[in-house]
Amino acid sequence: MTTLLLVRHATNDWVGERLAGWTPGVHLNAAGQQQAHELAERLAHIPIKAIYSSPLERALETAAPLADRLRLPVEQDPDLGEVYYGQWTGMPLKAMRETDLWPLLMIAQPGALS
């Protein structure tokens, strides 16, 4: 039997403020780096055989401490990336909440951006 662990990227300065989506150059902040190291500590005892990540910097930075600890490469797969939000990418969440389409996004992804 195969066990699949899904891990979302650790925190960055855009969380709760802007919709990062596929924006390049969004890196983990200090708290996110700490989260990534704590994740590696918690998962170190699990017999993980492969690590896959989206090519987004924040995702790769989250995977790196675990990969280093387990001496595994991080396989990048663009199909593991964020949702494509089009013109909403990079927008402040405050402005998005004021649009007529916001409730539709919340139905599609409950709790994702609230």
The per-residue pLDDT for 113 is: 53
The pLDDT tens digits for 27-86 are 999 999 999 999 999 999 999 999 999 999 999 999 999 999 999 999 999 999 877 788
> Of 53, 14, 16, 18, whose CA–CA distance to 36 is shortest?
53
Q: Are 17 and 89 contacting, i.e. CB atoms less than 8 angstroms apart?
A: no
Counting runs of H as helices and runs of E as strands, what totals does the chain give? 4, 2
Pair of tokens at residue 15: 């969380």
pLDDT band at 1, cuts 50/70/90? confident
For range 17-33, the mean pLDDT: 94
Q: Which of 57-61, 92-96, 102-106 has the highest mean pLDDT?
A: 57-61
Helix, strand or coil, per DSSP, at residue 107: helix
The per-residue pLDDT for 106 is: 72
